Amino acid sequence: MRGEVLEAMLPYLTEHYGNPSATYGLASEAANAIAIAREQAADLIGAKPHEIFFTSGGTEADNWALRGALLLVETSMRTAEGKSKRHIISSRIEHQAILRCLKRLEEEGLAEVTLLPVDREGLVSPADLKDALRPDTILVSIMAANNEIGSMEPLAKLADLTHEAGALFHTDAVQAFGQIPLDVKKLGVDLLSASAHKIYGPKGTGMLYVRETIPFRSMIQGGAQEKNRRAGTENVPGIVGFGAACVCAKKTLPDRMRREGALRNLLIKRAEEIYPAARLNGPRPKGVGLAHRSSLLEQGTRDEEGPGKMPDWRLPGNVNICFPGKSAELLLIMLEAEGILASAGSACASGSLDPSHVLSAIGLSEDDNRASLRFSLGEETSREEIEKTADALERILK
């Protein structure tokens, strides 16, 4: 996949250097390349090309979704009494791009925020959302899949409830985009954020899907790029690489899901055999041991709603395991000495000594939080590497 992405980008790094917003001949080559990439990104999520707006990454797209919703307050988004709608609902396990932006909006006095709890598997309850919705709710923002524990939310049900209350629904799909089936029309989402680097595209490129009926406004003031929605000269090589990555992701998605899911299950099984006290954080895949099932699972919600019917509701490439009594920090150092790279918490919070807010939200104690490791699997991960990882864990833990 990486080779195809680089091959698509190279001409726009070496030959086709025109500014796509200019009027000279060279500009048309770049403009056409962006138009094709827009079609490729739209095709991956069942959107229309004119609903795709390219950004510098998922963080910008998330911030734009939140602040853009508030900009609508100045126009049509008002309560029956004519009051501005400034209430936003999200969850406690969102990425920091959402949580920190919401905190800033509160500090600026622009919004009132409600953060919904999650159950022990990291799922937002539709009943909790229904109770939290108010006449002045303008936006609900719930991530499609969690970056730390892999839990996939029942988006379709959550979006339905949101629309019944007259609000917009946004999903941070950075972790799910190109990893599981996503169809914005079937899910009913109004706004969706994504990033190229999660599907082997270039870093520093992302997008925001905006349903065509929403009069969204630009958050960055300047030129007329992206149909007056996002000012700034387009990153042509990055956008072209993003489009190529979307094509590859769609073509390989079913096989990648099956393959990564099988390897994920193997790593979970081996880890629990090696260290019987180990506990999986997040949803347990079907057929991998016995475990408590959340109320949503028991009700069948996750088989009926969300990003298509899935064999299980954990991201195929995500493993997050607690090793009670151990130090994740020391385990990471010892694993790296064996050539194995894992993480504790989110990559975007690296360097922080604070416990993971996601693991705290699903009920882990501080000790168990600091004893948890995350392993990320990708298209190049092999069975041999999973066995090597398990063998290294066995040596280190014993």
Helices (H), the chain: 2-9, 11-14, 25-45, 58-71, 96-107, 126-132, 155-164, 184-187, 225-228, 236-274, 295-298, 301-304, 328-337, 357-361, 366-369, 383-397
Distance CA 317, CA 397 (A): 23
Is residue 121 within 8 Å of 297, Cβ to Cβ?
Answer: yes
β-pairing, 87-91 vs 112-116, is parallel
Query: Phi and psi at residue 191, in whole multiples of 5°?
Result: -140, 140
User: pLDDT tens digits for the chain (398 residues)?
Assistant: 678 999 999 999 998 888 888 877 778 888 899 999 999 999 999 999 999 999 999 999 999 999 999 998 765 555 556 566 799 999 999 999 999 999 999 999 999 999 999 999 999 999 999 999 999 999 999 999 999 999 999 999 999 999 999 999 999 999 999 999 999 999 999 999 999 999 999 999 999 999 999 998 888 888 888 887 887 889 999 999 999 999 999 999 999 999 999 999 999 999 999 999 999 999 999 878 754 444 454 444 444 443 334 547 899 999 999 999 999 999 999 999 999 999 986 555 555 567 999 999 999 999 999 999 999 999 999 999 999 999 999 999 98
Rounded to two decimals, the pTM is 0.91
The C-alpha atoms of residue 220 and residue 240 are separated, in whole angstroms, by: 22
Are the C-beta atoms of 54 and 195 separated by less than 8 Å? Answer: no
- Which of 319, 284, 318 is CA-nearest to residue 302? 284
pLDDT for the residue numbered 27: 82
**Token pair listed for 1:** 């996949």
Amino acid at 18: G
Is-contact 139 88, C-beta < 8 A?
yes
Catalytic residue, from 101, 248, 322, 348: name it.
348
Assess contact for 177 and 194: CB atoms under 8 A. yes
111 CA to centre of own chain: 23
Starting at the edge strand that comes first in sequence, how are the strands of the sheet with 52-55 ordered? 52-55, 206-210, 191-195, 168-172, 137-141, 87-91, 112-116
pLDDT at 211: 97
Tell me the CB-side half-sphere exposure of residue 231, using CA atoms within 13 A.
8
CATH number, domain 253-397: 3.90.1150.10
**Which DSSP symbol is given to 124?**
P
User: Distance (Å, rounded) from C-alpha 317 to C-alpha 259?
Assistant: 9
pLDDT at 274: 95
Architecture (CATH level 2) of domain 2-246: 3-Layer(aba) Sandwich (3.40)
Domain ranges of the chain: 2-246, 253-397
Hey, CA dihedral for 385, 2, 47, 87, is it positive or negative?
positive
**Residue 348 annotated to the active site:** yes
What pLDDT does residue 221 have?
Answer: 86
| Strands 206-210 and 137-141, bridge-based pairing | unpaired
pLDDT at 151: 97
Could you give the CA distance from residue 197 to residue 389 in angstroms, rounded to a whole number?
24
Is 278 exposed, middle or buried (CB count within 10 Å of its CB: 0-12, 13-18, 19+)?
Answer: buried
Length of the chain: 398
Residue spans of alpha helices (H) in 275-363: 295-298, 301-304, 328-337, 357-361
* Triad 143, 149, 152: Cα angle to 5°: 40
* End-to-end C-alpha distance for the chain, whole angstroms: 38
Q: Report DSSP letters for 145-187, one per residue.
A: B-TTT-BB--HHHHHHHHHHTT-EEEEE-TTTBTTB---HHHH
Cα–Cα nearest to 316, from 263, 369, 238, 370: 263
CA distance 394 to 372: 16
